[in-house]
Amino acid sequence: MRKSYKIVVAVLLSIITYSLITFLATLSIVLSKVESFDFQPKFFGQDIVYIHIQDSIFNANVTSTGVLIFGLLGGIIQLLINKFSKSDKQAY
């Protein structure tokens, strides 16, 4: 697989993993019957996820800032893996 495709796949997998973890965490909190819960972490002053539960009504929101941050993080990690991978250098 070419290096550019590996980076795109890493970005997409990073975004999917981020969204899935948010969904599963919210689902586990709802199933544990927590009546009131508010979770809103920030990264560089921007919301990355918002989970609010009150009276068995829940709202989970994956923000675009969070998707962008984790997508870029996945791409950077894959870029570093590609750069320092010895198997790619030996294949060419």
pLDDT digits (tens, 9 = 90+) for 75-84: 888 888 878 7
pTM score: 0.69
Instruction: Give the integer Cα–Cα distance in Å for 70 and 86.
Output: 26
Distances (CA, A) of 72 to 11, 39, 45, 49, 55: 7, 23, 17, 16, 36
Residue 59, domain extent: 3-82
**Would 13 be classed as within a structural domain?**
yes
pLDDT at 91 over 70: no
Indicate whether 91 belongs to any domain.
no
User: Per the domain annotation, does 89 fall within a domain?
Assistant: no
Tell whether 87 is covered by a domain.
no
88 occurs within a structural domain: no
7 occurs within a structural domain: yes
Give mean pLDDT, residues 34-43: 80
The total number of structural domains in the chain stands at 1
Q: Is the pLDDT of residue 64 over 60?
A: yes
Has residue 90 been placed in a domain?
no
